[in-house]
Amino acid sequence: MEYGKVLEYLEDLALKLGVEVVYEKLENKDFLATGGLCKVKGAYKIFIDRSETIERRTEILARALSSFDREEVYILPYIREILQKARE
């Protein structure tokens, strides 16, 4: 499966889990961050630097979503495998 499709599935999963995915420029002269999960005012958000490659965006999103309980949401087996690997 191509990275573009995987990214779409992961973004859709985040939406179903109530997690906002935010693409912004994260680089700054004082620190370097490529993205990750955080909680802002009680709501989970996954920030991803918009300059990241689609492969890297997919990795960041998979790693962040791997920590959520996903039993109530149908996930394609291939995507489930990606999340499992990201968790390890």
Q: How does pLDDT run across 11-41, given as a tens digit for each residue?
A: 999 999 999 999 988 776 566 677 889 999 9
Residues β-bridged to residue 48: 23, 35
Q: Are 9 and 73 in contact (CB under 8 A)?
A: no
pTM above 0.85, yes or no: yes
CA distances, 84 to each of 23, 56, 64, 66, 69 (Å): 24, 17, 11, 7, 12
Domains and CATH numbers, the chain: 3-87 (3.30.2010)
